[in-house]
C-alpha cells in the first residue's frame, strides 16, 4: 500500500533541506491561522509537487463531481505559482496521498480548498524563489517568476522551476507567512479557461470509474429490495443459480445478498434469478403518497427554536396570514447507477469509489468489514454527477463486503437503475408553515416559520457512522445505529435557509426534526434550502400581490444586505433587456431571491411560463438569473453550475416525486420517475455580478430554492392559481 511518505519519495527530485529559506523563516504560524483546509493539512508536499520538467501536480482533497473543481483549483495554483495553467495537473483524491478535506459538499470547495491551494502555492513559490536566489547569487527580492521561469530584475533568467527542484523539499508545514498575489494582478483566476476534464470525456478516453478495468476483475450484483431493514426469509436455496453460466460465488451475510460472476451480463441474469427465489419481510410504509405532510406534522419530532428576534405578538398586528408549503421525497437520480471496485489482498482492502469523501468512507468501510482503518485505502474516481449523498457510498460498502469474500480478486459491483432508485438515500419530504402578522399599513411585523423534516445527513462519516451504510443494516449482526441528527445553524439541515434574509421586527423559526423517517433520507443538493426558500419566496410573493405591490420593491423594503438588493436590481435590468413583462403585470413571470445558507451565494431568478388552461401543464419558457458569488475563479464554470442548478430545480419543481405504495417506493426507472427532457427545459441566461474583492462563494446550490419559487410565482401570476405543494403537477395547477 502506498503511504504518503512513499508518494513524496516518489516525487523524485527531493532531498533533505534543513534550513528554511529566509522569506519563510518567520515564526511558525499556529495551524488554526492557516486558511481553509490548510489548517488541518499543513504539509505543503501534501498539496503540491513540482517535477524536474517543471510540471506541477496539485493534489487536493476535494473530488471532481462534474462541477469543475479540479479546473478551478488548478487555476488558483497556476496563478499563485506563476506557471502556465497547462503545466498543472490535478491528482485524484486518494486516502494514501491526499489531504483530508472531508466531504466535497455544501458548495464550499472553492472557499476552503481554494483558500488552502492559494496559500500553499504562494508559499511554494516563495520557497522556489529563495532556491533560485541561492543558485543565481542574487537577493530573493530581485527575483520574480513568469510562466515558470525565474526573472531577475524583471528580465528572464536561465533558470526555471525544474532547475531548482533538486533542492526543493516540500516535506514541511506551511507557515502562513507568505502573502498571496494581489487580486489586481490576476491573469488566470477570473478567466473562463476550458475545463481540464472535458476533452477526455468528449473523446471517450478513460475518464470515469466505469472505465477502470483491472486484470482478473469479476463482476457482481446485489439482490435486495429498497428497504434496508427488510429481512431475507428462509428457505432461500440458490443451488439452481449456482449452476447458471459464469457464476463464481453467491455471497450471503444475514440479509445481504450478492452474486459474483465472470462476465457482467451473467451477473445481471444471476441476480434476476436470485431475486425470483427471495422472499423478504419488511414493514409497510406508514405514510401514503399525497398525505405526506399530514404524516410529518403528526410524527414524533424534536422541536427546537433555531432563531428568534424580538417578541412574537409584540407588534401592532392587525391581521395574520398563514400558509403551508411542502415538498415530497425526491431522488438524486444520478445518470450513472452507483458502482465500485474493491480488492482484498493480504489483509489490505483497496476500494475505488465515486464517493464525495474518501477519508470518511474509509473509516466506515473499515468498521463494516472489520479491518483497521490503516488497512483500507479509498481511491476516488469520477462517475456521473451525484448532487449529494446518493448510492455511491453504499455501493462501495457492498463491493467491499463482496471483495472480502473473494480474496485477491478485484470485484466490480454495479447497481442496476432500480437498485439506485430504490437504494439511494432520498431528499427528505418536508412541510413548512408560515404565519405573518401585518400591521395597519400591511407591513410584516411578526413572522413565524415552522419546518417539519427528516434529517439531511446520514452520511457514513467514519467508523462511528458506518451503521448508516445500506449493507450495515442487512448483515447478520447489523451495526448499532446512532441517532440521526441535524446540521446545526447557521448552515442548518432541514432548517437551512429557514431563517429569512428579510429583517422582520419579531420572528421565531422552529424546526421539527423527525428522527425516525419511514424512508432513508440524506443530503440532496441544497438540503432544506430548496423547500424553505420555495416557501418564504412564495409567501412573500403572495403578500406583495395581495397588497398590489411590486414584488421587487416589497422584498427590498425588508432587506438591509446590499448584495441581496444588488442581485434583485441586476435581475430587474435583465428582465427589461430580455423583454419580460413587468413582474407586477398579469402574465407569466415570477421572481425569487435567496442567499444560500444565509452565508453563501446571492441568487435571484426570474422565470417566464405559459400555462395550458385545459391541461394545467406548465411550459417553462425562459429563466433569467443574477448571481453574486464574490471573487469568481472561472466565470463560465460558475455559470454552468448555476444554469444546471436552475434546470435541475425546475425539473424537481414541476415533475419530480418519489412514487409510493404501502410496500415501499415504486419509482424504479425513468418512466416511474420522469425528469424534464430537452423539449421541456427553459432557455436559461445567467449573469455574474463582479465582486473581485469579496471572498469566493460556491455556485452549485444557490439557484435551487429561488428557481422553485420563481416558477410557482410565475404560475400564480399567469393563472391566479397558487400551488403550495411540490411538484406543481398539471392536476394541482388545475384544481388549486
Neighbours of 30 (CB within 10 A): 10
Binding segment for other proteins (CB under 8 A), chosen from 78-86, 202-210, 290-298, 603-611, is 202-210
Residue 645 beta carbon to other proteins: minimum distance, rounded to whole angstroms: 7
309 binds other proteins, rule: CB under 8 A: no
* CB-neighbour burial class of residue 222 (10 A; exposed 0-12, middle 13-18, buried 19+): buried
Cβ-based nearer residue to other proteins, 242 or 672: 672
405 three-class SS = coil
Residue 170 beta carbon to other proteins: minimum distance, rounded to whole angstroms: 32
Cβ-based nearer residue to other proteins, 381 or 498: 381
Tell me, by CB under 8 A, how many residues bind other proteins. 59
Cβ-based nearer residue to other proteins, 505 or 675: 675
Nearest Cα neighbor of 64 from 100, 104, 37 is 104
Cell numbers describing residue 707: 428557481
What is the x/- site pattern for other proteins, positions 591-630, by CB under 8 A? ----------------------------------------
Residue 214 beta carbon to other proteins: minimum distance, rounded to whole angstroms: 12
Interacting residue with other proteins among 26, 206, 345, 578 (CB under 8 A)? 206
353 binds other proteins, rule: CB under 8 A: no
What is the x/- site pattern for other proteins, positions 413-452, by CB under 8 A? -x-xx-----------------------------------
Residue 197 beta carbon to other proteins: minimum distance, rounded to whole angstroms: 7
What gap in Å lies between CA 575 and CA 551, rounded to an integer?
Answer: 14
What gap in Å lies between CA 416 and CA 338, rounded to an integer?
Answer: 8
What gap in Å lies between CA 58 and CA 724, rounded to an integer?
Answer: 47
656 three-class SS = coil
Residue 202 beta carbon to other proteins: minimum distance, rounded to whole angstroms: 5
Residue found under cell 398539471: 730
- CA 442 to mean position of chain CA atoms: 39
Cβ-based nearer residue to other proteins, 141 or 194: 194
202 binds other proteins, rule: CB under 8 A: yes
Across the strands, what pairs with 232? 280
Residue 76 beta carbon to other proteins: minimum distance, rounded to whole angstroms: 19
Residue 198 beta carbon to other proteins: minimum distance, rounded to whole angstroms: 6
Cβ-based nearer residue to other proteins, 95 or 648: 648
Binding segment for other proteins (CB under 8 A), chosen from 11-19, 128-136, 284-292, 330-338, is 330-338
Binding segment for other proteins (CB under 8 A), chosen from 100-108, 113-121, 262-270, 716-724, is 262-270
Contact 553, 608 (CB under 8 A): no
- DSSP labels, 251-292: EEETTEEEEEESSHHHHHHHHHHHHHH-EEE-PPPSS-TT-H
Nearest Cα neighbor of 354 from 340, 337, 369, 368 is 340
Residue 330 beta carbon to other proteins: minimum distance, rounded to whole angstroms: 12
Contact 338, 390 (CB under 8 A): yes
Cβ-based nearer residue to other proteins, 142 or 201: 201
Give exposure, 635-666, as e/b (b: 16+ Cβ within 10 Å): bbbbbbbbbbbbbbbbbbbbbbbbebeeebbe
**CA-based end-to-end distance of the chain:** 61
Residue 19, CB-side half-sphere exposure with 13 Å CA sphere = 6
Interacting residue with other proteins among 137, 153, 154, 205 (CB under 8 A)? 205
Cβ-based nearer residue to other proteins, 140 or 210: 210
What gap in Å lies between CA 687 and CA 624, rounded to an integer?
Answer: 8
Interacting residue with other proteins among 10, 199, 313, 408 (CB under 8 A)? 199
User: Interface residues for other proteins in 632-691 (CB under 8 A)?
Assistant: 636-637, 640-641, 643-648, 651, 669-671, 675, 677-679, 681, 683-684
Residue 71 beta carbon to other proteins: minimum distance, rounded to whole angstroms: 10
221 binds other proteins, rule: CB under 8 A: no
Binding segment for other proteins (CB under 8 A), chosen from 80-88, 225-233, 236-244, 258-266, is 258-266
Binding segment for other proteins (CB under 8 A), chosen from 29-37, 376-384, 591-599, 723-731, is 376-384
User: Interface residues for other proteins in 454-493 (CB under 8 A)?
Assistant: none
Cβ-based nearer residue to other proteins, 301 or 675: 675
Binding segment for other proteins (CB under 8 A), chosen from 111-119, 208-216, 397-405, 711-719, is 208-216
| Angle subtended at Cα 294 by Cα 444 and Cα 420, rounded to the nearest 5 degrees | 110
Q: Greatest CA separation found in the chain?
A: 83
Contact 661, 285 (CB under 8 A): yes
Residue 192 beta carbon to other proteins: minimum distance, rounded to whole angstroms: 8
101: left (phi over 0), alpha (psi -120 to 50) or beta: alpha
Interacting residue with other proteins among 31, 134, 135, 264 (CB under 8 A)? 264
Binding segment for other proteins (CB under 8 A), chosen from 80-88, 293-301, 383-391, 425-433, is 383-391
Residue found under cell 451473467: 266
Cβ-based nearer residue to other proteins, 243 or 346: 243
What gap in Å lies between CA 323 and CA 722, rounded to an integer?
Answer: 11
18 binds other proteins, rule: CB under 8 A: no
- DSSP labels, 126-170: HHHHHHHHHHHTS-GGGEEEETTEEEETTEEEEEEHHHHGGG---
Cβ-based nearer residue to other proteins, 384 or 607: 384
Residue 644 beta carbon to other proteins: minimum distance, rounded to whole angstroms: 3
Cβ-based nearer residue to other proteins, 26 or 198: 198
Neighbours of 96 (CB within 10 A): 15
Cβ-based nearer residue to other proteins, 479 or 647: 647
User: Interface residues for other proteins in 72-101 (CB under 8 A)?
Assistant: none
Interacting residue with other proteins among 186, 208, 280, 558 (CB under 8 A)? 208
Residue 598 beta carbon to other proteins: minimum distance, rounded to whole angstroms: 24
Q: How many helices (H) and strands (E) does the chain have?
A: 19, 26
Cβ-based nearer residue to other proteins, 18 or 678: 678
Decide the pairing of beta strands 506-513 and 302-309.
Answer: antiparallel
Residue 196 beta carbon to other proteins: minimum distance, rounded to whole angstroms: 11
Residue 278 beta carbon to other proteins: minimum distance, rounded to whole angstroms: 20
Nearest Cα neighbor of 69 from 417, 356, 262 is 356
Residue 459 beta carbon to other proteins: minimum distance, rounded to whole angstroms: 20
Contacts of 396 (CB under 8 A, 6+ apart): 340, 342, 351, 353, 355, 361, 365, 378
What is the x/- site pattern for other proteins, positions 386-415, by CB under 8 A? -x--------------------------x-
Across the strands, what pairs with 340? 353, 413
Nearest Cα neighbor of 103 from 631, 457, 397 is 457
| Angle subtended at Cα 628 by Cα 622 and Cα 630, rounded to the nearest 5 degrees | 150
68 binds other proteins, rule: CB under 8 A: yes
Interacting residue with other proteins among 67, 448, 455, 457 (CB under 8 A)? 67
Q: Which residues bind other proteins (CB under 8 A)?
A: 65-68, 194-195, 197-199, 201-208, 210-211, 213, 245, 263-265, 268, 333-337, 382-385, 387, 414, 416-417, 636-637, 640-641, 643-648, 651, 669-671, 675, 677-679, 681, 683-684
Amino acid at each position: 500500500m502506498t503511504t504518503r511518505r512513499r508518494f513524496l519519495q516518489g516525487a523524485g527530485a527531493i532531498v533533505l533541506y534543513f534550513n528554511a529559506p529566509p522569506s519563510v523563516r518567520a515564526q511558525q504560524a499556529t495551524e488554526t491561522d492557516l486558511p481553509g483546509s490548510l489548517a488541518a493539512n499543513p504539509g505543503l508536499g501534501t498539496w503540491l509537487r513540482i517535477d524536474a520538467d517543471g510540471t506541477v501536480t496539485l493534489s487536493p482533497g476535494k473530488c471532481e463531481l462534474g462541477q469543475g473543481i479540479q479546473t478551478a483549483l488548478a487555476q488558483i495554483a497556476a496563478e499563485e505559482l506563476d506557471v502556465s495553467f497547462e503545466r498543472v495537473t490535478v491528482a485524484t483524491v486518494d486516502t494514501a496521498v491526499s489531504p483530508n478535506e472531508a466531504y466535497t459538499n455544501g458548495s464550499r470547495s472553492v472557499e476552503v480548498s481554494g483558500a488552502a491551494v492559494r496559500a500553499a502555492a504562494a508559499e511554494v513559490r516563495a520557497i522556489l524563489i529563495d532556491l533560485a536566489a541561492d543558485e543565481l547569487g542574487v537577493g530573493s527580492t530581485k527575483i520574480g517568476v513568469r510562466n515558470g521561469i525565474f526573472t531577475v530584475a524583471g528580465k528572464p533568467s536561465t533558470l526555471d522551476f525544474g532547475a531548482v527542484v533538486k533542492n526543493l523539499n516540500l516535506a514541511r508545514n506551511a507557515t502562513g507567512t507568505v502573502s498571496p498575489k494581489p487580486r489586481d494582478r490576476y491573469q488566470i483566476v477570473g478567466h473562463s479557461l476550458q475545463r481540464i476534464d472535458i476533452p477526455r470525456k468528449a473523446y471517450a478516453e478513460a475518464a470515469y470509474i466505469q472505465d477502470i478495468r483491472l486484470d482478473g476483475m469479476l463482476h457482481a450484483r446485489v439482490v435486495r429490495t429498497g428497504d434496508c431493514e427488510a429481512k431475507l426469509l428462509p428457505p432461500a436455496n440458490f443451488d439452481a443459480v449456482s449452476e447458471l453460466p459464469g457464476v463464481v460465488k453467491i455471497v450471503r451475510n444475514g440479509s445481504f445478498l450478492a452474486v459474483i460472476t465472470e462476465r457482467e451480463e451473467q451477473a445481471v441474469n444471476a441476480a434476476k434469478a436470485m431475486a425470483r427465489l427471495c422472499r423478504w419481510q419488511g414493514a409497510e410504509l406508514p405514510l401514503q403518497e399525497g398525505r405526506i405532510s399530514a404524516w410529518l406534522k403528526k410524527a414524533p419530532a424534536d422541536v427546537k427554536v433555531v432563531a428568534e428576534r424580538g417578541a412574537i405578538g409584540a407588534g401592532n398586528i392587525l391581521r395574520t396570514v398563514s400558509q403551508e408549503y411542502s415538498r415530497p421525497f425526491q431522488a438524486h437520480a444520478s445518470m450513472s447507477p452507483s458502482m465500485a471496485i474493491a480488492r482484498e489482498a493480504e489483509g489490505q482492502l483497496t476500494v475505488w469509489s465515486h464517493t464525495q469523501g474518501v477519508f470518511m468512507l474509509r473509516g466506515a468501510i473499515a468498521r463494516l468489514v472489520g479491518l483497521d482503518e490503516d488497512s483500507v485505502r479509498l481511491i476516488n474516481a469520477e462517475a456521473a454527477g451525484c448532487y449529494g449523498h446518493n448510492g455511491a457510498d453504499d455501493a462501495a460498502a457492498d463491493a467491499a463486503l463482496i471483495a472480502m469474500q473473494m480474496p485477491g480478486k478485484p470485484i466490480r459491483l454495479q447497481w442496476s437503475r432500480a437498485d439506485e432508485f430504490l437504494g439511494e438515500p432520498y431528499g427528505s419530504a418536508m412541510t413548512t408553515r408560515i404565519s405573518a402578522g401585518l400591521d395597519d399599513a400591511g407591513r410584516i411585523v411578526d413572522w413565524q416559520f415552522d419546518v417539519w423534516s427528516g434529517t439531511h445527513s446520514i452520511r457514513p462519516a467514519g467508523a462511528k457512522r458506518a451503521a448508516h451504510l445500506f449493507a450495515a443494516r442487512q448483515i447478520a449482526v447489523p451495526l448499532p445505529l446512532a441517532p440521526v441528527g441535524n446540521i446545526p445553524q447557521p448552515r442548518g439541515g432541514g432548517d437551512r435557509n429557514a431563517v429569512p434574509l428579510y429583517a422582520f421586527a419579531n420572528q421565531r423559526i422552529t424546526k421539527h426534526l423527525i428522527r425516525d423517517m419511514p424512508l432513508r433520507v440524506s443530503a440532496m443538493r441544497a438540503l432544506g434550502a430548496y423547500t424553505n426558500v420555495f416557501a418564504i419566496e412564495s409567501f412573500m410573493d403572495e403578500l406583495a400581490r395581495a397588497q398590489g405591490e411590486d414584488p421587487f420593491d416589497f422584498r427590498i423594503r425588508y432587506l438591509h444586505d446590499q448584495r441581496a438588493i444588488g442581485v434583485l436590481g441586476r435581475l430587474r435590468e435583465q428582465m427589461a433587456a430580455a423583454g419580460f413583462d413587468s413582474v407586477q403585470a398579469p402574465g407569466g413571470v415570477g421572481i425569487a431571491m435567496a442567499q444560500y445558507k444565509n452565508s453563501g451565494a446571492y441568487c435571484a431568478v426570474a422565470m417566464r411560463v405559459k400555462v395550458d388552461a385545459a391541461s394545467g401543464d406548465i411550459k417553462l419558457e425562459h429563466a433569467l438569473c443574477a448571481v453574486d458569488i464574490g471573487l469568481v475563479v472561472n466565470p463560465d464554470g460558475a455559470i454552468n453550475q448555476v444554469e444546471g442548478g436552475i434546470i435541475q430545480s425546475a425539473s424537481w419543481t414541476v415533475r419530480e416525486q418519489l412514487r409510493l405504495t404501502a410496500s415501499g417506493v415504486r419509482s424504479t426507472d425513468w418512466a416511474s420517475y420522469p425528469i424534464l427532457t430537452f423539449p421541456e427545459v427553459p432557455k436559461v441566461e445567467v449573469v455574474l455580478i463582479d465582486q473581485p474583492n469579496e471572498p469566493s462563494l460556491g455556485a452549485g446550490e444557490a439557484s435551487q430554492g429561488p428557481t422553485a419559487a420563481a416558477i410557482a410565482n410565475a404560475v400564480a401570476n399567469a393563472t391566479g392559481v397558487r400551488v403550495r405543494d411540490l411538484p406543481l403537477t398539471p392536476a394541482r395547477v388545475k384544481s388549486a
